[in-house]
């Protein structure tokens, strides 16, 4: 069964897929993330994701956290560049409990000052932990390198100085401006009739006042390639090579996903893994990623290696990129690459939680759920010439930026 859709008068969209599993899932996704922060709000979106669980008009923090745990369920959230998501997993008979709780958290949180103070220390510890992990830190620093002086380039956690100053007014000002009802999607999967989902949506969301978005996001500035080396007292060098890539609306994005998978996707037979690890033994971990956003995208190649081998590893990576730019893939090579990507997507979609969140995102971006068969069809239609064209547009050596911790 496909997802069924319904839109409330206040603009909140509802999506539900009925299954026969005893386990059910639901989430609220808001089209608001760190790129929606003003300059003096750095880290505020993530801070709100933490403290939104710390008390409502009728529940204290403990009661919020135990509400789903008491019935064996799970409650969690995350913040990204362009969305904030609260999600829960539970047995299907607890669907009303989950729905009511998400409503209470999203629309009736009170942000007690005592809880804010305590959670600031938690996030500062998170920031400290992050700085102790160069393999994670380098990704944020790289985005700052290629998107300088833009909210997109700022890291999600914020800074200790910024976090310490936030109070309830900062929070409510941000929520009132960015948590707009026409930017919210409630998505659920479970053995629940759609008519019941709609009835609950009208009951819990229907009386929420409409709050349509009135601002536009800061556009992405022109990109200038950068090369930067940062001294670090680490045993390994950590390096990222990458550049802005296609956005979510670009027709080439699916071919870019395939190109990324060929280069350094999760398979051990990706080109970069074969070149750096299997043939030369220069890296334990090498990977590439492509993340499209509403008006930009980010392509990166990451690896860690011995400091003495850094330049050689970079040289080998550029050799692989040049091969992709100048030599068309054979029919069998391309067919294998397509099957690998289709298999990965199918396995990912077999997780109901992954499917729920990706569907909510699809509705945010495209106004309708993705159809997996249509996605597979798009992948099958990609040609070797398209792969070459993308490699020449995105992966040219003089267009790529490099950030190295060594």
Which fold would CATH assign to domain 227-405? Cytochrome Bc1 Complex; Chain A, domain 1 (3.30.830)
- What pLDDT sits at residue 269? 83
- Per the prediction, the chain carries an average pLDDT of 95
User: Quick one: tokens of 232?
Assistant: 């670090």
pTM: 0.94
- What pLDDT sits at residue 268? 78
Give the model confidence (pLDDT) of 229-285 as tens digits: 999 988 899 999 999 999 999 999 999 999 999 999 887 789 999 999 999 999 999
d(CA 22, CA 156): 35
d(CA 77, CA 94): 19
Give the model confidence (pLDDT) of 120-168 as tens digits: 999 999 999 988 899 999 999 999 999 998 999 999 999 999 999 999 9
Strand partners, 89: 25, 74
User: In this prediction, what percent of the chain has a pLDDT beyond 90?
Assistant: 94
Q: Give domain limits for the chain.
A: 4-204, 227-405
Question: What's 4-204's CATH class?
Answer: alpha beta
Under DSSP, the state recorded for 396 is -
d(CA 172, CA 158): 18
Q: What's the pLDDT band for 61 if we cut at 50, 70, 90?
A: very high
Question: In sequence order, what are the residues at sequence separation of 6 or more whose Cβ sits closer than 8 angstroms to the Cβ of residue 359?
Answer: 3, 15, 17, 187, 369, 370
Q: Would the CATH topology of 4-204 be identical to that of 227-405?
A: yes
Q: Are strands 13-18 and 23-30 parallel, antiparallel or unpaired?
A: unpaired
- What pLDDT sits at residue 132? 86
Do 382 and 338 contact (CB within 8 A), yes or no? Answer: yes
Judged against a pLDDT cut of 90, whether residue 35 lies above it is answered with: yes
Mean pLDDT of 213-222: 92
Mean pLDDT of 164-176: 96
Taking CA atoms, 43 is separated from 38, 96, 146, in Å, by: 10, 33, 19
User: In this prediction, what percent of the chain has a pLDDT beyond 70?
Assistant: 100
Q: What's the pLDDT band for 389 if we cut at 50, 70, 90?
A: very high
Judged against a pLDDT cut of 90, whether residue 112 lies above it is answered with: yes
- What pLDDT sits at residue 390? 97
């Amino acid at each position: 069964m496909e997802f069924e859709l319904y839109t409330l008068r206040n603009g909140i969209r509802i999506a539900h897929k009925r299954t026969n599993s005893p386990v059910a899932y639901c989430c609220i996704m808001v089209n608001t993330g760190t790129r929606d922060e003003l300059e003096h709000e750095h880290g505020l979106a993530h801070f709100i994701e933490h403290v939104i669980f710390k008390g409502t008009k009728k529940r204290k923090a403990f009661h919020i956290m135990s509400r789903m745990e008491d019935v064996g369920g799970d409650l969690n959230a995350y913040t990204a560049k362009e969305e904030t998501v609260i999600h829960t997993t539970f047995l299907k008979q607890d669907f009303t409990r989950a729905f009511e709780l998400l409503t209470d958290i999203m629309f009736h949180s009170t942000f007690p000052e005592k809880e804010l103070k305590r959670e600031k220390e938690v996030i500062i510890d998170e920031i400290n932990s992050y700085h102790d992990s160069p393999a994670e830190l380098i990704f944020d620093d790289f985005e700052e390198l290629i998107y300088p002086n833009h909210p997109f380039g700022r890291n999600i956690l914020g800074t200790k100085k910024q976090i310490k100053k936030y109070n309830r007014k900062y929070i409510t000002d941000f929520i009132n401006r960015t948590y707009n009802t026409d930017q919210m999607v409630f998505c659920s999967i479970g053995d629940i009739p759609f008519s019941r989902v709609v009835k609950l949506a009208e009951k819990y969301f229907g009386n929420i006042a409409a709050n349509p978005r009135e601002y536009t996001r800061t556009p992405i500035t022109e990109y200038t390639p950068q090369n930067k080396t940062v001294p670090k007292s680490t045993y390994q060098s950590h390096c990222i090579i990458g550049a802005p890539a296609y956005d979510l609306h670009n027709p080439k994005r699916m071919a870019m996903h395939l190109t990324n998978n060929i280069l350094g996707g999760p398979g051990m037979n990706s080109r970069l893994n074969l070149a750096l690890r299997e043939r030369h033994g220069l890296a334990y971990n090498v990977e590439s990623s492509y993340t499209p956003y509403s008006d930009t995208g980010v392509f990166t190649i990451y690896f860690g290696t011995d400091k003495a081998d850094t330049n050689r590893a970079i040289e080998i990576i550029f050799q692989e990129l040049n091969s992709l730019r100048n030599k068309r893939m054979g029919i069998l090579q391309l067919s294998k690459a397509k099957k690998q990507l289709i298999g990965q997507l199918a396995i990912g979609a077999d997780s109901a939680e992954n499917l729920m969140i990706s569907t909510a995102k699809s509705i945010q971006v495209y106004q309708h759920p993705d159809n997996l068969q249509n996605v597979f069809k798009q992948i099958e239609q990609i040609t070797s010439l398209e792969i070459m064209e993308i490699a020449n547009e995105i992966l040219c050596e003089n267009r790529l930026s490099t950030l190295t911790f060594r």
